Amino acid sequence: KYMQCYVEHVTDFTVKYIDTLLTAAKGKIDVVRADEDMGTMDRLMISPQMWRKFYKPAWTKAFDTVHKHGAKIWFHSCGYIMPLMEDLIETGIDCWNPFPPNVKDNDHDKLKIYRRGRIALDGGVSHPVLVDGTECQVKEATQKVLDIFASDGGLLIGPAQVFTRDIPPKNIIAFFETVLKYSG
């Protein structure tokens, strides 16, 4: 009972906040970021049943408010979330970040077919390759993500997380050279 009450109060506050913010913005906000890390590398941190009971209705209300104002939802969730992906699409996410290839069930070939025409993707290039790989390996990993996803649209190519301090500058350059060559 306590959890239900808590989630309802947070949801009410969040929906009012988003509505007020987007009303004041008068159409000048195109994308709203939402974050909920709910998976480790190979399992969920919360059962699908519990997530559907408490969080899915909350996110749906918040995302409906964002969409009412004509903005899109850029949703960040690291780790294994595939058992909830259909639910997330139903809540209204427009873009999922980061879809790391080294996480269970994030097979890029299967994900391409699954998400086609449903959601955009942001990220995709393995963080371990960016940190520990050679320039050649970074170029190959970047090219592979581009080859799989770019032709259909809906891809914001990037690291499977963010560019962190532990990524050698030469690997960041190799990433961008590959992207520019592909798009050029």
Give every strand in the sheet of 155-159, ordered side by side: 31-35, 72-76, 95-97, 120-125, 155-159
Question: What does the alpha-carbon distance between residue 71 and residue 103 come to, in Å, rounded to a whole number?
Answer: 29
Instruction: Specify whether the CB–CB gap between 79 and 109 falls below 8 A.
Output: no
78-104: pLDDT as tens digits: 899 999 999 999 999 999 999 988 899
**Are the CB atoms for 74 and 95 separated by under 8 Å?**
yes
pLDDT tens digits for 3-12? Answer: 999 999 999 9
Residue 158 scores a pLDDT above 90:
yes
Q: What is the pLDDT of residue 184?
A: 73
Please give the Cα distance from 106 to 129 (Å, whole number). Answer: 16
For residue 70, name the pLDDT band (cuts at 50, 70, 90).
very high
Closest by Cα among 114, 177, 105, 102 to 146: 177
Q: Are 112 and 152 in contact (CB under 8 A)?
A: yes
**Is the pLDDT assigned to residue 172 strictly greater than 80?**
yes
Using alpha carbons, select from 36, 88, 90, 92 the residue that is nearest to residue 64. Answer: 92
- Residue 76 host element (H or E): strand 72-76
Give the predicted TM-score (pTM) of the model. Answer: 0.92
pLDDT tens by residue, 109-138: 999 988 888 999 999 999 999 999 999 999
- Packed helices 2-25 and 56-68: angle between N→C axes, nearest 10 degrees: 10
**Side-chain-side CA neighbours of residue 142 (13 Å):** 25
What does the pLDDT read at residue 116?
87
Is residue 98 reached through a cis peptide bond, with omega within 30 degrees of 0 on the bond before it? yes
pLDDT score recorded for residue 26: 98
- Give the pLDDT confidence score for residue 7 in this predicted structure: 95
What pLDDT does residue 161 have?
84
The helix or strand, by DSSP H or E, that contains position 19, with its residue range, turns out to be: helix 2-25
